[in-house]
Amino acid sequence: MAQSPILLDITELTEHPMRTGIQRVEREIIRHWPGPAALIPCRFDSPSQSFVRLPEAVFEILGSEAAPPGAAERELLLPHLSAHHPLSSDELASSLFNPEIFFDPVRAAAYRAICRLPGADVSWLLFDFLPFLRPQDYPSGTPRHCMHYLHALRGVQRVSSISEHTQIEYTTRIMRDPERTGPYFPDHA
């Protein structure tokens, strides 16, 4: 029996394709997805305030080792970003995976709504919590403007972390609940 596809939310990557640490991880997910479930590109469309499915060509562009950087890659993506199909609540609740950090309050509200649906199976990959746990390194008021991300995270059913340190911070300092833990990627430095 074939598994339901997994919708990969690559909103930030499609809007601002760069080579940040997070975006390198996203590109590796695209390049090396092990299956067996198919990976389907999607993004949050701000004008319609909904998630939309993107054509597979988006993965071809973003997963290419030879993709041009920055603005040139964005130009390659543009025709595919307008050719999208709205995703139903049932599709989103069945298999939405977010490997990005974002602070858009409307996108966060959409995640909260999806996570409240019966049988929701939403997954996130966590990177760090620097704006919240090291506010002294950011402009005054930054954590307050980033809280949408944490509010959305509280409803996510499956969470994994990029390191044991991030997983401990998530469990002890963000969720403050030892039961709300998840796997992390071990450091092989």
Domain ranges for the chain, please list them.
6-174
Query: What is 71-109 written as a DSSP string?
Result: HHHHHHHHHHHHS-EEPPHHHHHHHEEE------HHHHH
Each residue of 35-67: pLDDT tens digit?
Answer: 899 999 999 998 999 999 999 999 999 998 777
Residue 53: which of 81, 13, 15 has the closest Cα?
Answer: 81
User: What one-letter code names the amino acid at 148?
Assistant: H
Each residue of 177-186: pLDDT tens digit?
Answer: 877 778 888 7
Phi, psi of 135 (to 5 degrees): -60, -25
Each residue of 138-164: pLDDT tens digit?
Answer: 888 877 888 889 899 999 989 999 988
